[in-house]
Amino acid sequence: MAEETQEDLNPVVNESAAVDDSADETPVAAAPADDAAGVSEPVTVSKSGLRGNRAQKIGVVASDKMQKTVVVRVDRLIKHPKYRRYVRRTSKFMAHDETGATIGDKVRIIETRPLSAHKRWRVVEIIQKAAK
């Protein structure tokens, strides 16, 4: 077991395998591994797992004065290190918006590739519309 190399422990993914759009999981051939039974099983990779788990945040739209861009205010509570009380911290994120969110809407944003100098988030859904 000690003489096995790192390549023997990690299965090699076949990159030439065709991806089927109709199925969520695509079996991918794996390199044979020597285990107790001597049987190797294919590794399955789900399509949602190809990108990894993207960060999601829920916040309130603070500004919608730009075209297809909103500023989302995300509040979080942290415990103060000295006083042990919860303190509210606010972060603002610029997010790409195709859904038409307006000021006061509660939205879910998801991490994405850089879209501009400041935009790295995208509005996925409007959770709650603002009261008129």
Regarding whether 102 and 80 lie in a shared domain, the answer is yes
State how far the Cα of 59 lies from the Cα of 52, in Å rounded to an integer.
Answer: 22
Task: Give me the domain span that covers residue 28.
Answer: 1-51
Strand 86-96 relative to strand 119-128: parallel, antiparallel, unpaired? parallel
Profile the chain (132 residues) by mean pLDDT over runs of 10 residues: 52 49 50 53 56 94 97 98 98 97 98 97 97 86
Regarding whether 83 and 63 lie in a shared domain, the answer is yes
Regarding whether 11 and 65 lie in a shared domain, the answer is no
Q: What pLDDT shows up at residue 38?
A: 55
Using the structure block, give the residue that is written with the tokens 């042990």: 84
pTM of the shown model: 0.62
**Residue 27: Cβ within 10 Å count:** 14
For residue 95, what is the domain's CATH number?
2.40.50.140
Number of H helices, E strands in the chain: 1, 7
Instruction: Please give the tally of structural domains in the chain.
Output: 2
Q: What pLDDT shows up at residue 16?
A: 47
